[in-house]
């Protein structure tokens, strides 16, 4: 029991510190606001929650009666030597234990049910909300932070709704009840407890702070070691090719040693704390036995009274330990709530207007009408006007950073322009539903993103209800069927994380099959063939041509050889279109296009040409 007390107290501070992560202590008002928001989440389940709290309170009250029963039982043996009383009291105690088991089972079940339900609701709500947020939000936040909110922060909220709330109620009942009953049993003996509890509380506060700050340092060090390992392991090819394994291992070892040192200090402090509390506890217990024994000898106390008294002392110790944990649990839950609601309070920048209509029977005309757009302050697109007719293939070329990808990203309405309009079939994108536009746009880019599942599932992402035959037809059209069929598992082959088990050209063709299956009217190709060797490129190019048939296609390409056949070429420079025309027209004129083309076609050195495109003049 005493061991429990010390480890409880120690765990309370240490655990509190771990939960607390880097949350600073909050002002009572902020804490209250956050807690109110947490408890509002459990409002739909408030009847269950209230029932749980009621049952747990009954459990606490029953636990308070148990020592009194024991007292009577011992008195029946030692004072009165009454056999039938002993039997009746034993039976009474068994009934009490049964009641306690039943209420604590149902109370805990209801409580945990509520906690899990609130957490599940919150996770679903946050994840749904994340999917409504815009790309700008995701460029400003690290994915790791967002996923950690879904796991750790939601977990903190759960512990506040369940354990902390229940502890607050049951431990305070137990504390107040035990103190009162103890005083009634023998107030002089109670003084020993009243002297020890404040001393333990002061020690717990002092050590608690120290351990919390050490724990924060440990978490920082731990994050450092993880970051070092993650970085090196994800760039393992680079590390090996530069023969830097030794260097990386040393870097990691240094970080681990620092972590060890911080952990050693924390172990030292928490071991000192446990021993001190243990010492105080056993001293107090010995004092109670000594003084209680004296009182028993003097006939002022019965053996039963002394045993009951010691039970209440244990109760008090447990309640004080439990309650000291509460502040840090609530504080860390408040921090988590602030972050979670910060996320939920972020309004999606792009939303359907209240009177937005779905865009049906789309033809595929695209127009930019004096569009100006900036990610931050500096405009990236400046007064851009262009028109693309349904079924046309238009290429965007120009130096890196000229705004080509940005212009493309306005079409599925990833962003809204600050000025001007983007139109599809003559409708301003802000007047139609986002879903109806995006369902008619398919994109293939250089950086193909695949899910860690089978090839078939990756292709089917284009149209979830597609049959196996349709998936295969798309793969054939994308020149992907032959290599897929040659794999041992065929369409069921797993592609690995981000598709690592496939070559660049194979990934591209899967992406093309996916876009084919989508059968969208508008096709956006961003550097779709730039990283391929000539053989793969020919296969991909052929697949792309099949994909482009009958669709409005916008192509971004640095390699001008891939866009020569486009109906029209728009040359971008610094957020503006500086030239328009076919390859032949543009090549015949002086200007940026001819400069770019001259560089690329001069000696066929692609690397050099791409490099020079970054700074064409």
Nearer to ligand ATP, 107 or 398 (CB): 398
- Per CB under 6 A, contacts with ligand ATP among 374-393 are 375, 380
> What's the min distance (Å) between Cβ of 397 and ligand ATP?
9
Quickly list H helices, 345-433: 404-409
Tell me the C-alpha distance between 276 and 210, whole Å. 15
> What's the min distance (Å) between Cβ of 593 and ligand ATP?
15
> What's the min distance (Å) between Cβ of 362 and ligand ATP?
25
Report the residue from 406, 479, 529, 530 that binds ligand ATP according to the rule CB under 6 A: 406
Q: Biggest alpha carbon distance in the chain?
A: 119
- Which of 55, 63, 60 shows the shortest CA–CA distance to 109? 55
Phi, psi (rounded to 5 degrees) for 374: -135, 140
For residues 479 and 473, the answer to whether their CB atoms sit within 8 Å is no
Q: Which of 355-363, 399-407, 485-493, 514-522 is the region at the interface with ligand ATP (rule: CB under 6 A)?
A: 399-407
Report the residue from 69, 107, 115, 403 that binds ligand ATP according to the rule CB under 6 A: 403
Nearer to ligand ATP, 380 or 480 (CB): 380
> What's the min distance (Å) between Cβ of 511 and ligand ATP?
17
Nearer to ligand ATP, 316 or 402 (CB): 402
Tell me the C-alpha distance between 189 and 179, whole Å. 11
> Residue 412 interacts with ligand ATP (CB under 6 A)?
no
Nearer to ligand ATP, 458 or 562 (CB): 562
> What's the min distance (Å) between Cβ of 614 and ligand ATP?
8
> Residue 404 interacts with ligand ATP (CB under 6 A)?
yes
- Which of 582, 579, 578 shows the shortest CA–CA distance to 568? 582
Nearer to ligand ATP, 84 or 139 (CB): 139
> In sequence order, which residues have a C-beta less than 8 Å from that of residue 139 and are 6 or more positions away?
375
Q: x/- binding map, residues 539-578, to ligand ATP, per CB under 6 A?
A: ----------------------------------------
Nearer to ligand ATP, 174 or 406 (CB): 406
132-157 burial, b if ≥16 CB within 10 A, otherwise e? ebbeebeeeeeeeebeebbeebbebb
Q: Which of 103-111, 242-250, 401-409, 511-519 is the region at the interface with ligand ATP (rule: CB under 6 A)?
A: 401-409
Q: Which of 64-72, 226-234, 396-404, 470-478 is the region at the interface with ligand ATP (rule: CB under 6 A)?
A: 396-404
Nearer to ligand ATP, 208 or 379 (CB): 379
- Which of 248, 254, 259, 260 shows the shortest CA–CA distance to 220? 259
> What's the min distance (Å) between Cβ of 406 and ligand ATP?
3
Tell me the C-alpha distance between 120 and 116, whole Å. 6
Provide the CA 277 distance to its chain's centre, in angstroms. Answer: 38
User: Tokens in use for 238?
Assistant: 């680079």
- Per CB under 6 A, contacts with ligand ATP among 138-167 are 139
> In sequence order, which residues have a C-beta less than 8 Å from that of residue 371 and are 6 or more positions away?
381, 383, 384, 385, 407, 410, 417, 419, 420, 421, 422
Report the residue from 286, 400, 449, 605 that binds ligand ATP according to the rule CB under 6 A: 400
Nearer to ligand ATP, 159 or 406 (CB): 406
Phi, psi (rounded to 5 degrees) for 63: -60, -30
> Residue 134 interacts with ligand ATP (CB under 6 A)?
no
> What's the min distance (Å) between Cβ of 400 and ligand ATP?
3
Nearer to ligand ATP, 376 or 465 (CB): 376
Nearer to ligand ATP, 172 or 561 (CB): 561
Report the residue from 348, 401, 504, 591 that binds ligand ATP according to the rule CB under 6 A: 401
> Residue 405 interacts with ligand ATP (CB under 6 A)?
yes
For residues 357 and 237, the answer to whether their CB atoms sit within 8 Å is no
> In sequence order, which residues have a C-beta less than 8 Å from that of residue 461 and are 6 or more positions away?
451, 514
Give the Cα-Cα-Cα angle 375, 377, 383 (nearest 5 degrees).
Answer: 75
> What's the min distance (Å) between Cβ of 380 and ligand ATP?
4
Report the residue from 62, 179, 301, 402 that binds ligand ATP according to the rule CB under 6 A: 402
Measured on CA atoms in the order 467, 473, 479, 481, is the torsion positive or negative?
Answer: positive
State the DSSP H helix or E strand holding residue 571, giving kind and residue range, or none if neither.
Answer: strand 568-573
Phi, psi (rounded to 5 degrees) for 87: -65, -45
Q: Which of 74-82, 214-222, 394-402, 543-551 is the region at the interface with ligand ATP (rule: CB under 6 A)?
A: 394-402
- Which of 548, 596, 608, 599 shows the shortest CA–CA distance to 572? 596
Q: Which of 88-96, 177-185, 186-194, 400-408 is the region at the interface with ligand ATP (rule: CB under 6 A)?
A: 400-408
Tell me the C-alpha distance between 16 and 328, whole Å. 5
Other C-beta atoms within 10 Å of 577: how many? Answer: 21
> What's the min distance (Å) between Cβ of 405 and ligand ATP?
3
Nearer to ligand ATP, 375 or 601 (CB): 375
State the DSSP H helix or E strand holding residue 472, giving kind and residue range, or none if neither.
Answer: helix 468-477
Nearer to ligand ATP, 334 or 596 (CB): 596
- Which of 251, 124, 577, 119 shows the shortest CA–CA distance to 382? 577
Nearer to ligand ATP, 359 or 560 (CB): 560
Report how many residues bind ligand ATP under the rule CB under 6 A: 10
- Which of 383, 370, 366, 404 shows the shortest CA–CA distance to 563? 404
Residue ranges binding ligand ATP (CB under 6 A): 139, 375, 380, 400-406
């Amino acid at each position: 029991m005493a061991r429990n007390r010390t480890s409880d107290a120690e765990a309370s501070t240490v655990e509190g510190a771990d939960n607390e992560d880097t949350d600073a202590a909050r002002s009572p008002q902020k804490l209250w606001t956050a807690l109110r928001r947490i408890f509002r989440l459990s409002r739909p389940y408030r009847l269950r929650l209230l029932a749980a709290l009621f049952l747990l309170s009954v459990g606490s009250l029953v636990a308070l009666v148990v020592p009194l029963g024991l007292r009577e039982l011992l008195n029946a043996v030692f004072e009165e030597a009454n056999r039938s009383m002993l039997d009746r009291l034993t039976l009474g105690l068994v009934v009490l234990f049964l009641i306690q088991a039943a209420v604590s089972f149902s109370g805990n079940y209801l409580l945990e049910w509520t906690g899990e339900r609130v957490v599940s609701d919150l996770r679903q709500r946050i994840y749904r909300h994340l999917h409504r947020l815009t790309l700008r939000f995701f460029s400003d936040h690290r994915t790791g932070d967002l996923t950690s909110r879904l796991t750790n922060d939601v977990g903190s909220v759960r512990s506040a709704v369940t354990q902390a709330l229940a502890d607050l109620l049951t431990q305070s009942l137990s504390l107040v009840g035990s103190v009162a009953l103890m005083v009634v049993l023998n107030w002089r003996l109670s003084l020993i407890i009243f002297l020890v509890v404040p001393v333990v509380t002061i020690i717990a506060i002092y050590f608690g702070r120290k351990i919390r700050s050490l724990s924060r340092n440990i978490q920082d060090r731990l994050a450092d070691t993880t970051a070092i390992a993650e970085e090196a392991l994800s760039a393992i090819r680079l590390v090996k090719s530069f023969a830097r394994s030794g260097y990386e291992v040393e870097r990691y070892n240094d970080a681990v040693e620092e972590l060890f040192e911080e952990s050693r200090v924390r172990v030292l402090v928490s071991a000192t704390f446990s021993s001190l509390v243990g010492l105080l506890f056993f001293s107090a217990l010995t004092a109670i036995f000594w003084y209680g024994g004296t009182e028993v000898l003097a006939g002022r106390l019965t053996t039963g009274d002394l045993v009951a008294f010691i039970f209440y002392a244990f109760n008090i110790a447990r309640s004080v330990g439990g309650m000291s944990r509460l502040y840090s649990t609530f504080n860390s839950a408040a921090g988590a709530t602030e972050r979670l609601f910060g996320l939920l309070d972020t309004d999606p920048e792009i939303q359907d207007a209240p009177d937005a209509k779905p865009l049906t029977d789309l033809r595929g005309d695209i127009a930019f009408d004096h569009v100006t757009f900036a990610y931050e302050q500096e405009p990236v697109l400046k007064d851009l006007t262009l028109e693309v007719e349904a079924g046309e293939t238009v290429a965007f070329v120009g130096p890196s950073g000229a705004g080509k990808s940005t212009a493309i990203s306005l079409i599925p309405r990833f962003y809204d322009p600050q000025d001007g309009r983007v139109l599809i079939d003559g409708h301003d994108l802000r007047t139609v539903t986002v879903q109806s536009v995006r369902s008619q746009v398919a994109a293939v880019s250089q950086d193909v993103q695949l899910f860690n599942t089978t090839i078939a599932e990756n292709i089917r992402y284009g149209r979830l209800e597609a049959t196996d035959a349709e998936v295969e037809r798309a793969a054939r059209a994308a020149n992907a069927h032959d290599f897929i069929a040659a794999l041992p598992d065929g369409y069921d082959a797993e592609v690995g994380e981000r598709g690592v088990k496939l070559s660049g050209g194979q990934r591209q063709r899967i992406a093309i099959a996916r876009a084919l299956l989508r059968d969208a009217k508008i096709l956006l190709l961003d550097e779709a063939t730039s990283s391929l060797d000539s053989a793969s490129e020919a296969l991909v190019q052929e697949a792309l041509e099949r994909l482009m048939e009958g669709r409005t296609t916008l192509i971004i390409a640095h390699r001008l050889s891939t866009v020569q056949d486009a109906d029209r070429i728009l040359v971008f420079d610094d957020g503006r279109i500086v030239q328009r025309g076919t390859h032949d027209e543009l090549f015949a004129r002086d200007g940026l296009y001819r400069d770019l083309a001259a560089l690329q076609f001069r000696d066929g050195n692609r690397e050099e040409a791409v490099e020079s495109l970054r700074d064409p003049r």
